[in-house]
Amino acid sequence: MKNRIEIVEDNDVVRDGLQLLINSMSDHTVVGAYISCEQALKNLDHDMPEVILMDLDLPGMSGIEGIQRIKKRSPHIHIIVITVHEDSEMVFEALCAGASGYITKNANHSRLLDAIDEVQTGGAPMSSKIARMVVGSFQKNQNSPLTSRETEVLELLAKGKSYTVIADELFIHKETVKSHIKNIYFKLQVNTKADALEIARKNKLI
């Protein structure tokens, strides 16, 4: 039984190249190659792919929305994004939408074929820059203007806790919490909770 691969890519040259490359492997077969998510979705039940290689710049429906729709209909299908985009927004949008892997187009052919196997054996193939970006998203800004206590308070605030609850959890007085928040607002140059959280999250202070 061959691995059923599908391709969604609007550039003819790239699409045909991918198809040839994959079909050249004895245990893989391309069951569909389309230029848009609309087409891919229409044929999804017939093609029954296990893995979809997908570009993000597509005519009509965006790749991101395509990923969402495909994953909603067939959660078991693994989608690997193949794109030129390396900007963090695209990467995280694609992963949030349900992509299992993210390869940039400068990857060589063997890396690409490896990715298909990797995604089917429980992995998440990524270009190394992308992997670093993803891992980096977990790490806090080392140059935070906030003190560790202030950060602690802001994190509890981010969890939706009230001043009173925060005070209890940190074994300090509610007035102290207020004082910390006052200083946080001043340092971040904001005057509401929502703005503070936005700045803090954007700058990875929490």
Partner DNA sequence: TAAAAAATCACTAAGATTGGGGGAGAGATT
Partner DNA sequence: AATCTCTCCCCCAATCTTAGTGATTTTTTA
Pick 122 or 160: Cβ nearer DNA? 160
Q: Which one, 71 or 180, has the nearer CB to a second copy?
A: 71
- Half-sphere exposure for 51 (CA within 13 Å, toward CB): 29
Amino acid at 43: N
Segment 23-52, which members bind a second copy (CB under 8 A)?
Answer: none
**d(C-alpha 95, C-alpha 75), whole Å:** 14
Residue 105 or residue 161: which is nearer to a second copy going by CB? 161
Task: Tell me how far apart the alpha carbons of residues 20 and 124 are, in angstroms, rounded to a whole number.
Answer: 23
Residue span binding DNA (CB under 7 A) among the ranges 11-19, 35-43, 108-116, 168-176 = 168-176
What would the x/- binding string for DNA be over residues 131 to 160, using CB under 7 A?
----------------xxxx----------
Number of CB atoms found within 10 A of residue 22's CB? 22
Alpha-carbon distance of 14 to 30, in angstroms, equals 14
Chosen residue from 6, 9, 50, 118 binding a second copy by CB under 8 A: 118
Q: Between residues 29 and 179, which has the closer beta carbon with respect to DNA?
A: 179
Query: Does 162 participate in binding DNA (rule CB under 7 A)?
Result: yes
* 105 binding DNA? (CB under 7 A): no
Report long-range pairs for 64-69 (Cβ below 8 Å, ≥24 apart): 64/90, 64/93, 64/94, 64/97, 65/37, 65/97, 66/8, 66/37, 66/40, 66/41, 67/94, 67/97, 67/98, 67/99, 68/97, 68/98, 69/37, 69/41
39 binds DNA (CB under 7 A): no
Q: Which residue carries 């067939």 as its tokens?
A: 74
Q: What are the residues binding DNA (CB under 7 A)?
A: 147-150, 162-165, 170, 172-173, 175-176, 178-182, 185, 191-193
Q: What are the residues binding a second copy (CB under 8 A)?
A: 71-72, 75, 92, 95-96, 98-101, 118, 121-126, 128-129, 131-132, 134-136, 138-140, 142, 157-162, 165, 192-194, 196-198
